[in-house]
Amino acid sequence: MSRNHTHDPGHVHEHGHDHAHGHDHDHAHDHDHDHAHDHEHGAACAVSSSAPSIGFSLGKPEKRYWRSLTELERTDEFRAALKREFPDQDPDKLPPASRRRFLQVMGSSLALASATACRWKEEKILPSQNRPEGRVPGNPEFFATSLELTGVASPLLVTCYEGRPTKIEGNPEHPACNGSTSSYAQGAVLELYDPERSRTPLAMESGQAVERTWAEVQTALSGLLDAQRLKRGAGLRILSEVSSSAALAAARARLLEALPQAKWISYEPLATTSARRGAEIAFGASGRAHYELAGAKTIACFDADLLGSHPDSLRHTRAYARGRKPEGEMNRLWAVEAGFSITGSSADHRLQLRSEQVKPLLLAVEAEVGKKLVPLPALAPKRAMPRSGFLAEAKVARFVEVLAAELVENKGRSVVAVGARQPAEVHAIAFRLNALLGNLGSHLRFTAIPAGPEGSLAELAQEMTSGTVEALLILGGNPAYDAPADLDFADALSKVPQSIHLSLYADETSKLCTWHLPRAHALESWGDAAAYDGTVTLRQPLIDPLHEGKTPLAILGMLLADGAASDRERVQRGLKLEEAAFRRAIHDGFVAGSAAPLLSMSSVAFDEGEVAAAALAADAGDDFELNFTKSPATYDGRFANNGWLQELPDYLTKITWDNALIIGHGDAQRLGISFGDLVRIEVGGRALEMAAYVLPGQTKGTVSVALGYGRTAAGVVGGDAAAGVPSAGFNTYTLRTSGAAWFTRGVRLAKTGGSYPLAITQDHNQIDQIGLQGIAERLGSLVREADLTEWKDHPDFAKHRVHVPPIKSLFTELQFEGVKWGMTIDLNSCTGCNACTIACQSENNIPVVGKDQVARGRHMQWIRIDRYFAGEPEDPQIASQPVTCHQCESAPCEQVCPVAATVHSTDGLNDMVYNRCIGTRYCANNCPYKVRRFNYLDYNKRTEQPGSEISNMVYNPEVSLRWRGVMEKCTFCTQRIQAAKIEAGNERRKVRDGEVKSACQQVCPADAIAFGDLGDPSSKVSQMKADPRSYEMLSELNVRPRLSYLAKIRNPNPALTA
């Protein structure tokens, strides 16, 4: 029985209570061969004007679905690509790649995952007379820990084999966690074993980096302290990442007590204080806003990506998905935004608007609500919003009217949310509107926020430039890369006599400092942080530091000579916990009952500020609005060297390994811009040239760019100028200023005449015209959807949307007795967030192949999420559909394999026998879902890169590695199934429902995936399959898939669809 442990390398493990949430059987025994199943429907879905529609509504006009603009418009280039027998060999469509660069990226699959062996603290080896309780050699163990991003802790439960972490899940017992995790957390394991992490302290001498020892670092820190003590710290500045750690706050207090004139500044490029300052404006008190979506009937998001980029998105997604059941009271999601977000793609109603227009629109909605409700004086706006400019447009006016009426109708059962990109006064308006609607205290709550360090990065840069700063200690972050361009931080840093940078990598900032110190990874260090609800969340080391890295706590301890023996002691001291309570907190991963207290807020009168005339304009003319967004792959750039994340297709554009200038269809046509065209962006005297991507649904007059790309000192994956490795993507921080951190107007665009190759996965598996015609005839069987009113009239519409005549088999089909493993995916809950894709990659040892191979259609992920547009390119709807192996009972792949490399198991799974496979690829050709993956190269082959010669520490030992010439696919996580069967057999019982969780199911924040025994009528997967919304993709082929879907139900307001 697996258990949750306290992990302290070199110490006896503490055993805790069992977790009955699927972790007991997350990993299975190795077999002679690993079973592999991969069915991803190819989604080559070109649409002709006469083709049947996907998900057309009974009695309503047809809804056309299409995957990309090239497919919709059937350009000459697209038609030419269809005629090529081997499109992956077209040299014009592939980025140039030298053999050296190819080996660098190919090696990343091993190198990023196999840098160093697992190391425990050295002890004398003595045999155990008795086996430790609960410990079975070879069985996985689970430890609670956390990962902090921008001051918010993500509660984690990490799987360890023989002392090395291999897989990350969410901690289901944490009050702020539902057991799911983000893509960033999933990729942390690969980052841990990255061979390019810093290994030793470096000192810059005569422009050269010289290796030093930690003893020499201690001497330098002691000298720094002695010099600053004489000046009471007047010349010392500390720049840290944003953190909610109590232990770090205690260390900061001790340092400022010892050096009272020193200054501490916190900075992260994605951190904002607009919501907190908005609370101060609206209520006269600072607080953190918590949106409670559970039970809300109307959710209105104004530039707020509650389901995607919000730090509490996992909890929001679970609550939102539970409210999308058409059998109950279904919620309705409204979105107002410039570019598509995950929230916007899931919305029932989406209004395209420039970001600068959110404030006047929100004021208009508030005024409309105020007409129907009598506001208190404190809730009355100071000035009326004139109905002019864009507000006078019929579509916008109707949107405001209907939304306001619905908010009033659902008074006390609604949420009005504003995103962190908006200014503080916009948040204040939204808070006031929530108070007017009676949502305060129910669907909008506030908790206390601990006071952080004062000071700003702009003030620090000014002091550095003026020569005031004599010594700068940078604890994490990469400000030379991601600081606002107008601060010219890199130049200011060169004027500081002594600068010390602590980081995982010798990055852009490290190369400009006099000292670089290797930082310990989150999975190999002690620490604490607060979850979004304020719950104190512990971090414990799962492995001894691989490169003797230090934490910020340890560096401050060395600087102050605090006398603590370890970071463990510093964390315990900072939390003020006794030993027993501390060990309990380590075991659980959090301190019970430590959530931040709720605040009682009372509205105060405030002035909303003026609305710029330009923001009211209906048309921005030739001046575009530029929007900066968080990258779903690199975050703020810190994960640029993570191959899993770089190769994860963007949830909307499906771009890998790059960012791009996102521009709308109409603007692209007007400017003559096509996919991959290089475009010059000019704003505020700064310019950047980057590739364009034409995305349907991007607001007219706006463009969007993701931050976190264009690194020059990330590594062989993300870019390393010193090693001759080109950057992945474009550095958009060069356009970002402190006065316009999230959006700015006055942007000019111009084509340069060049082009840039983008590796996009959405259009893979396109076939010739005859094949496309056949697919078009089956479009109605792929994504099936209906409006709520239609579902109420025809609950079983999904089964009758495509009429399939009775099919009789030509031979007696094999009947499976006993357990029948199956899966159901609810398209009504799925948001297309991509978490399942990277969780599957981590669990099943799926390699990184690199941009060149992705461009050739050779990506290896076992799960893909097909994205379909519906409607017109200027204002489409989006539907997402995860596709993996359907585990067909009458599998077409098995019928054509000449060597029986793909066969059925006794419980009906479509298995792969890797050592039989000879690579004919007949199975991939015959798979109707196009989900099989072929190893064109040995992506797991060892390379000559230094540090990659040691064992593959990241790999799951329960899953076989595949090699060149072998086909692979999704296995329904057969290793987890086998583990559950073994344990059930040992206990002489059957496998319980819910005892086996596939990796994709376990990570899903929307709980959209059910997995279990289809032969058990009481199992969740059987109940979902029996739902009237259930359907099987391409059921007319009689392949009898074990994977089924629940059709998507939209809930539009009838007043806007009439």
Q: What is the pLDDT of residues 318-353, one digit of tens each?
A: 999 999 999 888 999 999 999 999 999 999 999 999
Q: Is 282 exposed, middle or buried (0-12, 13-18, 19+ CB in 10 A)?
A: buried
State pTM to two decimals.
0.86
CB 901 within 8 A of CB 37: no
Q: What is the pLDDT of residues 236-264, one digit of tens each?
A: 999 999 999 999 999 999 999 999 999 99
Distance CA 587, CA 569 (A): 16
DSSP characters over 190-253: HHHT-TTS--S-EEEETTEEEE--HHHHHHHHHHHHHHHHTTTTTTEEEEE-----HHHHHHHH
Residue 511: predicted pLDDT: 93
Distance CA 232, CA 221 (A): 16
827: pLDDT strictly greater than 80: yes
51: pLDDT strictly greater than 70: no
Q: What is the pLDDT of residues 720-756, one digit of tens each?
A: 999 999 999 999 999 999 999 999 999 999 999 999 9
Distance CA 57, CA 794 (A): 10
* Residue 623: CB atoms within 10 Å: 16
Residue 812: predicted pLDDT: 73
Percent of the chain with pLDDT over 90: 64
* Residue 579: CB atoms within 10 Å: 8
Structure tokens at 245: 């750690």
Q: Give me the architecture of the 274-447 domain, per CATH.
A: 3-Layer(aba) Sandwich (3.40)
CB 387 within 8 A of CB 414: no
Residue 801: predicted pLDDT: 72
Distance CA 265, CA 469 (A): 13
Q: Which residues contact 377 (CB under 8 A, 6 or more apart)?
A: 605
99: pLDDT strictly greater than 50: no
CB 881 within 8 A of CB 782: yes
Average of pLDDT values for 505-514? 94
Which H or E run contains 302? strand 298-302
Which H or E run contains 1022? helix 1020-1025
The 3-state DSSP class for residue 843 equals helix
Torsion angle in degrees (nearest 10) through CA of 664, 665, 669, 675:
80
948: pLDDT strictly greater than 90: no
Average of pLDDT values for 517-528? 95
Average of pLDDT values for 88-98? 47
Distance CA 292, CA 319 (A): 8
Instruction: Give domain 65-94+765-940+956-1054's CATH number out of 3.30.70.20, 3.30.160.150, 3.40.1190.20, 3.90.1010.10.
Output: 3.30.70.20
Distance CA 317, CA 834 (A): 13
Alpha-carbon 503 to chain mean position: 22
613-756 folds as Barwin-like endoglucanases (2.40.40)
The 3-state DSSP class for residue 766 equals coil
Compare 995 and 606 and report the one with higher pLDDT.
Answer: 995
DSSP characters over 152-194: EEEEEEEEEETTEEEEEEE-TTSTT--S---HHHHTHHHHHT-
Distance CA 853, CA 657 (A): 11
Q: What is the pLDDT of residues 371-408, one digit of tens each?
A: 888 776 767 676 666 677 888 899 999 999 999 999 99
Q: Which residues contact 144 (CB under 8 A, 6 or more apart)?
A: 4, 155, 156, 157, 158, 171, 538, 540, 586, 587, 588, 589, 590
Residue 127: predicted pLDDT: 60
Q: What is the pLDDT of residues 961-990, one digit of tens each?
A: 998 999 999 999 999 999 999 999 989 999
Residue 868: predicted pLDDT: 87
Residue 429: predicted pLDDT: 93
Q: What is the pLDDT of residues 804-824, one digit of tens each?
A: 777 777 777 777 777 899 999
Backbone angles phi, psi at 1004, to 5 degrees: -65, 115
Question: Among the listed ranges 113-122, 388-397, 422-431, 490-499, which one has the minimum average pLDDT value?
Answer: 113-122
552: pLDDT strictly greater than 60: yes
Q: Which of 43-47, 90-94, 263-267 has the highest mean pLDDT?
A: 263-267
DSSP characters over 675-690: TTEEEEEEETTEEEEE
| CA 739 vs CA 147, 460, 743: distances in Å | 30, 16, 9
Residue 602: predicted pLDDT: 82
Question: Helices 394-409 and 358-372 sit at what angle, rounded to 10 degrees?
Answer: 50
CATH class of the domain comprising 202-271+455-588? alpha beta
Tokens 């057969």 -> residue: 974
117: pLDDT strictly greater than 60: no
The 3-state DSSP class for residue 731 equals coil
Give counts: helices (H), strands (E), the chain: 33, 43
Strand partners, 290: 445
Domain residue limits, the chain: 65-94+765-940+956-1054, 202-271+455-588, 274-447, 613-756
Q: Is 578 exposed, middle or buried (0-12, 13-18, 19+ CB in 10 A)?
A: exposed
Distance CA 11, CA 14 (A): 9
Q: What is the pLDDT of residues 28-37, one digit of tens each?
A: 333 333 333 3
Mean pLDDT of the residues in the chain: 84
Sequence-ordered strand ranges (E) for 578-676: 624-629, 655-656, 661-663
CB 288 within 8 A of CB 596: yes
Residue 798: predicted pLDDT: 84
Structure tokens at 674: 């096509």
Torsion angle in degrees (nearest 10) through CA of 7, 11, 16, 19:
30
Distance CA 524, CA 160 (A): 12
